[in-house]
Structure 1
Amino acid sequence: MTPRERVTLRAVAEDPQDSVMRFAWDADVGTLEEDAKDTATTSEIVWTAPPCLEPGDDASFTLTVSNALDLAVIARFSATGLPPCPTWTQVSAMSRGRAGATATLLASGKVLVAGGREGASGTASLATVELYDPETGLWAATGSLAAARTLHTATLLPSGKVLVAGGANGTTVLASAELYDPVAGTWTSAGNLTAARAYATATPLPSGKVLVAGGSDLDIKATLATAQLYDPATNTWTATGNMLGGRSVHAAVLLASGKVLVVGGLGNSGVLYPTELYDPATGTWTATGTLSSYRVAVEATLLHTGSVLVTSDNSAQAELYDPATGLWSRTARMVTGSQFHRATLLPSGQVLVTGGQAVNGDAPLARAEIYDPPTGTWAATTPLRRARIFHTATLLPSGKVLVTGGDNGTTPLSVAEVFSMP
């Protein structure tokens, strides 16, 4: 069998006294249709295979055939070929719960988790920083940020250092930026943005510079159209062209062409459908295709094909951007619509989506699902061990995915878990 394959199971039985046969089907996994097609001597039923087998499960069947005297015979058989299910493994917890943090994969293979917010209400910003070592599955403290912050950006530079910019400290939105040196384990100043901002995007460019675009205050009422470039060679910021409109809680993706696609989010007048492109060669922005659905707290993933997959909102409708035409098209609907989830490109080219919530105020989700670009379809996979929003998801060198922190709806989480494909 293959995952989710539908097959018709057929049985034939005869009784020496020509009694009418009664058939009862049972399957350990998958789905049997409720109504079998029975005659006096035959039975047919449709079984749908599961996508995978959980540890200890077997795709086995039991058929019980009985006659008018209630004499019965039992036949057992099984299906082969179904893969084992992906697994989530809980690893050691961080030293404290944190939501709205950033996670950056370092050149060493370790993961740097910086800042975030903690406390019962999740409003106390953090300056503490931790390192996860995939080899040991353990966390270790490293140098603290100069300013506690959450809802900031974090970008790995060609030098191996990490640039953190903006965000918020409590109710104060920040303009400051800092650099982390993984060799020394310390932070130094990286200057200031021209305007304080949270919910911005930071995109590393082929030149080695970093484009920081948009953002807003904490209430997402005063959105920014301004964009700036950070130059690691001089440790300075310079203004570049403004976006066509203010935008916050959006996503940005570096395309194969070297241009940056900005999509979704909120503007001063509400949700945004238009998308735009930044050209590093000219420092200008131009309009490109328009989304069919609004996207807030959007996730945008560059696929191996060069297209961009966008997911977000409770409609569950996913869309694809074609850089060659500048147009958006709908792909299959997600299994579960949500916002504030995380999307991670897997080595297979598939995209793993984790967590989120249906709408603001709803309980966080433990759901996980996978998008398969060749077929354009979504499929549910093994759910997270803990429901969460505002978490991080980082692809490790091993191909596994580390999910950290987030919020369970009332309290920031310290627990972390790792996703493994079979």
Structure 2
Amino acid sequence: MVTAENAAGSTTARVDIEVRQTPAMPAGLTYRETAVVYTVGEAIAPNAPASSGGPIATYTIAPTLPAGLSLDAQTGVVSGTPTAVTAQTSHTVTGTNAAGSTDVALHITVKAALVAPASLVYSAPKVLYVATEAIVPNAAQTTGGPVTTFTVAPALPAGLSLNAQTGAITGTPAAPQSLAAYTVTAVNAAGSVQAQVQIATTARGSWAPATTIAPARHYFALTRLNDGKVLATGGYTAGGVTSSAALYDPATGTWAPTASMLAARNGHTATLLLDGRVLVAGGSDTARNGVLLTEIFDPVANTWTATGSIAEPREWHSAARLPNGKVLIVGGHTSQPTLNFSQTAELYDPAVGTWTTAATPLTTPRSQHAMELLPGGNAVLVIGGVNRNGFVTTAEVFSVDGTSTTSMPIGIQGNLFRSVMLADGSVLTLADGSTTALRFQPATSTWTTSTFAATRALPTLTTLADGRVLLAGGGNLNTAEVFHPDFDVWTTASPMATGRRAASAVLLNDGRVLTVGGFSGSGEVDASETYLP
């Protein structure tokens, strides 16, 4: 008994004391983590033991811990920073006191230090998809450390998604869109790496019928006026060459006759002047006589007025309105009284209503060629065509002031060439009888090629509002294809209802393409159709 007291009183308590010969043996040794994976260079969270039974006096371990790790002999705590990769190893920790010992196995692996992803590439870094059609998954490939997650900015086009674990781009794009860049970021705890994917989405488009044009015709001209209406002039009909003209109103989708030209003609040009009037030049009549008379249509007054005549007859020539408002015509041919191919150019001045023949002729006479005004407005590119010797296999850069011309070879030939100007200032051209298209870069005077699917005779070629190009018809085909300047590739478009060649086409203000007339195996085509990109 133990008694405690002071002046005021006392209290007692009983204490039972047992004295043994030796301490109790430790039992039940455990660790917070018994199977762990550490990383070289990363300090570990101290791994402390717990036990039951008698207190442990000392701890030992066998085999030795991986390099950089240590066991505290008094506390049994495993700590440190591993310095070398080690395969999984079983280490036995033994806790000991005077009465005995107990042990536990620790399974330790040391993996290599985490490194940041080193590179990220996509199987298709620049790709064109088709709206409403499932894409081939675009896979990501990385080097360096393993990637934890992938992200993309800005958001991918509607219908496409990025797999956050694999980085793959999959899905079905919902709508067309222009080429845009998307940055994909691959991340892990050690860092990140980025790659850019460029994506554009096209569409097959669709065709809708418009009212027929009367009379049905081919080898005629279409000109979009400033108010958005479209003027059709002349052409070849079942009754021969016509002087008739008609206006198409996109708002109503209908054709209405307008005042007839002063002269019947086909194979002519019709050029919109700066003041909104239309200059018609060249062509031939039913007897294949060349038409020297040029005339101007005033859409406000609905009248045709004669203006200065060209110096020589020419049909299937080319025309371009220059930045100063003048009109340049180049080449062409006449059939009567003999077949003759022109080597000259003429310049029309609307201010005085007269034509002036350029001082410098073309290097090569040519007709049924293509022509585009080059950036800067100082020269035109004249491409291909035919002459008395057959197909013309050259192009010329002809100065609009008629003082010089430079000839160069081209890689295609055909009976008739078509061309359009692209948004970057390059020129796309193609010829009958070939599936190769050429693209001319004015800055370097170089040509590149692309290949479309079908051989076409007298097709239409029209630049769309978004910079793509529609190729339609030709021969008796009703098929169509679209050129994508960002990729130099062609894709299949929806077909027209009517197969045709020698039709005319024009881009409307609302982005549709109006395709009119033409010729089929059974005669002139009166059908009009509009293409919605």
Q: 2:306 aligns with which of 172, 184, 189?
A: 189
- Residues 249-270 of structure 1, C-alpha deviation per residue, up to 9 Å, x if partnerless? 0011001121111001012211
Aligned to 1:352, the other structure's residue is in SS state strand
Contact 1:298 1:339 in 2 (8 A): no
Query: What's the CA shift for 1:50?
Result: 10
Aligned pairs for 1:10-409 (under 5 A) are 85-119=204-238, 124-171=240-287, 172-218=289-335, 221-240=339-358, 241-258=360-377, 259-281=379-401, 283-330=402-449, 332-357=450-475, 364-409=476-521
TM norm structure 1? 0.77
Distance 1:84 1:251, change over 3 A: closer
Aligned to 1:173, the other structure's residue is in SS state coil
Aligned to 2:510, the other structure's residue is in SS state coil
Distance 1:155 1:50, change over 3 A: farther
Aligned to 1:168, the other structure's residue is in SS state coil
Distance 1:84 1:354, change over 3 A: closer
Letter in 2 for 1:313: D
Distance (Å, rounded) in 2 between the aligned partners of 1:159 and 1:278: 26
Query: What's the CA shift for 1:173?
Result: 1.8
Aligned to 1:6, the other structure's residue is in SS state coil
Distance (Å, rounded) in 2 between the aligned partners of 1:409 and 1:97: 14
Distance (Å, rounded) in 1 between the aligned partners of 2:460 and 2:481: 11
Query: What's the CA shift for 1:216?
Result: 0.5
Distance (Å, rounded) in 2 between the aligned partners of 1:169 and 1:342: 23
Query: What's the CA shift for 1:2?
Result: 4.6
Contact 1:52 1:85 in 2 (8 A): no
Specify which structure has the bigger relative contact order, considering alpha-carbon pairs within 8 angstroms and separated by 6 or more residues.
1
Distance (Å, rounded) in 2 between the aligned partners of 1:354 and 1:113: 19
Aligned to 1:314, the other structure's residue is in SS state coil
The residue aligned with 1:411 is 523
Aligned to 1:192, the other structure's residue is in SS state coil
Distance 1:317 1:158, change over 3 A: same
Distance (Å, rounded) in 1 between the aligned partners of 2:306 and 2:234: 16
Higher share of residues assigned strand? 2
Query: What's the CA shift for 1:100?
Result: 0.8
Distance (Å, rounded) in 2 between the aligned partners of 1:256 and 1:191: 29
The residue aligned with 1:59 is none
Query: What's the CA shift for 1:221?
Result: 4.1
Report how many residues are paired. 344
Aligned to 2:423, the other structure's residue is in SS state coil
Distance (Å, rounded) in 1 between the aligned partners of 2:137 and 2:372: 42
Contact 1:289 1:327 in 2 (8 A): no
- Residues 104-143 of structure 1, C-alpha deviation per residue, up to 9 Å, x if partnerless? 0000100000101111xxx600111000000011111111
- Residues 193-225 of structure 1, C-alpha deviation per residue, up to 9 Å, x if partnerless? 111111111111111111111111249942110
The share of aligned pairs that are identical, in percent, is: 35
Query: What's the CA shift for 1:147?
Result: 0.9
- Residues 286-319 of structure 1, C-alpha deviation per residue, up to 9 Å, x if partnerless? 2243211113311111111111111123220111
Distance (Å, rounded) in 1 between the aligned partners of 2:398 and 2:434: 28
Aligned to 2:395, the other structure's residue is in SS state strand
Distance (Å, rounded) in 2 between the aligned partners of 1:387 and 1:192: 37
- Residues 342-384 of structure 1, C-alpha deviation per residue, up to 9 Å, x if partnerless? 1100111110001112xxxxxx111110000111110111011
Cα RMSD (Å) of the superposition?
2.4
Query: What's the CA shift for 1:52?
Result: 9.3
Distance 1:165 1:2, change over 3 A: closer
Distance (Å, rounded) in 2 between the aligned partners of 1:134 and 1:144: 21
Distance 1:419 1:218, change over 3 A: farther
Pair member with larger Rg: 2
TM norm structure 2? 0.61
Distance (Å, rounded) in 1 between the aligned partners of 2:434 and 2:470: 18
Aligned to 1:320, the other structure's residue is in SS state strand
Letter in 2 for 1:368: A
